């Protein structure tokens, strides 16, 4: 098609065509013309493109190097790559890999509308694996001694407000005994960062990662031996804290928050329980009632067919349960998919380029052109 033909098209048709392009290709088109640059930066096209990409969710592997390790005089890197989620294939193409300078980054959240949020003592960074770009959202000023003494822990939550169509960051700061009692939120947008105060109904200590689902950010926490589910509503900018059965926490030792059939669930280190019984327990939020309850998940054939120690990473739209091998093999990460309807297992390897100390698996990543 000639450029003149494309220029004659209605804007609505042009955006339909652009929304079908892969994120990396669309990002390269920014330099084509001022019109392309303006269109790609338009939120309407970004939202339309995201709706298209939701049809092909991806898996993100974030690999973490050991802190403070140097290799031949150069710092090692944290890196992440993306693979097809439904049927992962080994990755050898370096163009799939995005690297970050090792500045002691921690994972703030899993992928939200195509973006990963990481933070260090000095920076809050948004990363887009699909187009291999990162954006520094915040750079923190050194805190005076009196502030460091009052607030001994700082954490961040990240999510997307479905109503205002905006990304938001929540900052939590804890006083004595690591109990967060000050919460602030801001909208990610060009210009000055303006924090807004959020009231928190009670203190808590985070014990899991955060998880963003449909305009809410979830977090597993405890207070005085009581297990809690923390929910931040990004539209109302309010916090709800729900008490969970204390016996569940004491029995399982919750370590992470994952998505189970589209709902948040608290998961224990289930490797031993799986190996001995072929079952593991979760505490999941019911979609209809909104109540949290304990559930036992059976993986038929696990004891007979699976060897090694695996952790539960969540479910994908096909209904399959995804497990990651806890011990990193040299050169690759092992994944195990279980289909509860067919009671079948599929094993996949994601190739890595270097040896890393640990890795984070994020499911249901929808590539986008945000940033």
- Per-residue confidence band for 70, with pLDDT thresholds at 50, 70 and 90: very low
| Residues 143, 244 within the same domain | yes
| Residues 69, 107 within the same domain | yes
Residue 271 lies in a domain: yes
| Residues 77, 171 within the same domain | yes
Q: What is the DSSP letter of 329?
A: B
| Residues 22, 109 within the same domain | no
CA distance 97 to 104: 19
| Residues 199, 324 within the same domain | yes
Instruction: Indicate if the alpha-carbon torsion angle 89, 92, 96, 102 is positive or negative.
Output: positive
**Average pLDDT taken over every residue of the chain:** 80
Residue 239 pLDDT > 70: yes
CA distance 361 to 131: 19
Residue 328 lies in a domain: yes
What mean pLDDT comes out for the span 73-94? 61
Q: Under a CB-based contact definition with an 8 Å cutoff, are residues 81 and 94 in contact? A: no
Predicted TM-score (pTM) of the model is 0.85
Q: Show the tokens assigned to 17.
A: 């065509």
Q: How many CB atoms lie within 10 A of CB 322?
A: 23
Q: Lowest mean pLDDT: which of 46-50, 180-184, 352-356?
A: 352-356
The reported pLDDT for the residue numbered 298 is 94
| Domain hosting residue 286, numbered range | 54-365
Residue 40 pLDDT > 70: yes
| Residues 41, 84 within the same domain | no
The reported pLDDT for the residue numbered 57 is 87
Number of H helices, E strands in the chain: 9, 26
- Exposed, middle or buried: residue 48 (CB in 10 Å: 0-12, 13-18, 19+)? middle
Percent of the chain at pLDDT above 70?
79
Residue 370 lies in a domain: no
What mean pLDDT comes out for the span 56-81? 58
What mean pLDDT comes out for the span 70-81? 48
pLDDT tens digit string along 174-222? Answer: 765 555 578 899 999 887 788 999 999 888 888 888 999 999 999 988 8
The reported pLDDT for the residue numbered 93 is 47
Residue 182 lies in a domain: yes
Q: Lowest mean pLDDT: which of 34-43, 89-98, 184-193?
A: 89-98
Give the containing element (helix H, strand E) for 281.
strand 279-285
| Residues 103, 39 within the same domain | no
Count of CA atoms in the C-beta half-sphere (13 A) of 83: 21
Q: How many domains does the chain have?
A: 2
| Residues 75, 137 within the same domain | yes
Q: Domain of 341: which CATH number?
A: 2.120.10.30
| Residues 28, 95 within the same domain | no
pLDDT tens digit string along 263-288? Answer: 999 987 666 778 888 998 888 999 99
The reported pLDDT for the residue numbered 72 is 38
| Residues 29, 158 within the same domain | no
Q: Under a CB-based contact definition with an 8 Å cutoff, are residues 82 and 96 in contact? A: yes
User: Which three-class secondary structure state does DSSP give residue 155?
Assistant: strand
Most distant CA pair in the chain: distance in Å?
68
The reported pLDDT for the residue numbered 285 is 94
| Residues 141, 20 within the same domain | no
SS (H, E, C) 101-145: ECCCCEEEEEEECCEEEEECCCEEEEEECCCCEEEEEEECCCCCH
Residue 1 pLDDT > 70: no
Q: Lowest mean pLDDT: which of 8-17, 165-174, 299-308, 338-347?
A: 8-17
The reported pLDDT for the residue numbered 122 is 80
CA distance 216 to 343: 33
| Residues 41, 60 within the same domain | no
The reported pLDDT for the residue numbered 100 is 61
């Amino acid at each position: 098609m000639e450029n003149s033909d494309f220029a004659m098209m209605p804007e609505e048709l042009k955006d339909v065509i652009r929304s079908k392009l892969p994120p990396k290709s669309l990002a390269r088109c920014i330099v084509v013309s001022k019109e392309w640059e303006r269109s790609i930066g338009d939120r309407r096209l970004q939202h339309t493109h995201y709706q298209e990409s939701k049809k092909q969710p991806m898996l993100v592997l974030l690999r973490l190097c050991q802190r403070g390790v140097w290799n031949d005089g150069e710092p090692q890197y944290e890196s992440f790559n993306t693979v097809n989620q439904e049927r992962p294939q080994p990755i050898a193409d370096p163009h799939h890999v995005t690297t970050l300078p090792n500045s002691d980054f921690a994972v703030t959240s899993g992928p939200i509308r195509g973006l990963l949020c990481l933070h260090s003592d000095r920076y809050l960074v948004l990363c887009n694996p699909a187009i291999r770009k990162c954006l520094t959202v915040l750079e923190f000023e050194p805190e005076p001694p009196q502030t460091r003494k009052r607030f001994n822990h700082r954490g961040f939550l990240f999510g997307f407000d479905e109503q205002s169509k905006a990304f938001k960051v929540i900052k939590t700061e804890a006083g004595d005994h690591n109990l967060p009692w000050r919460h602030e939120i801001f909208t990610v947008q060009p210009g000055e960062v303006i924090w807004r105060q959020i009231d928190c109904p009670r203190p808590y200590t985070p014990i899991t990662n955060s998880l963003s689902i449909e305009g809410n950010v979830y977090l597993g926490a405890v207070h005085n031996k009581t297990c809690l589910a923390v929910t931040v509503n990004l539209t109302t900018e309010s916090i709800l804290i729900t008490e969970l059965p204390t016996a569940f926490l004491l029995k399982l030792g919750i370590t992470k928050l994952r998505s189970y059939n589209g709902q948040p669930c608290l998961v224990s280190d289930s490797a031993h329980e799986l190996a001995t019984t072929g079952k593991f327990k979760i505490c999941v939020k019911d979609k209809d009632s909104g109540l949290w309850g304990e559930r036992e998940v059976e993986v038929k054939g696990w004891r007979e067919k699976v060897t090694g120690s695996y952790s539960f990473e969540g479910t994908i739209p096909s209904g399959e349960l995804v497990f990651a091998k806890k011990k990193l093999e040299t050169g690759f990460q092992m994944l195990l998919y279980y289909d509860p309807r067919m009671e079948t297992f599929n094993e996949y390897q994601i190739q890595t380029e270097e040896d890393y100390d640990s890795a984070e698996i994020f499911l249901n990543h929808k590539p986008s052109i945000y940033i």
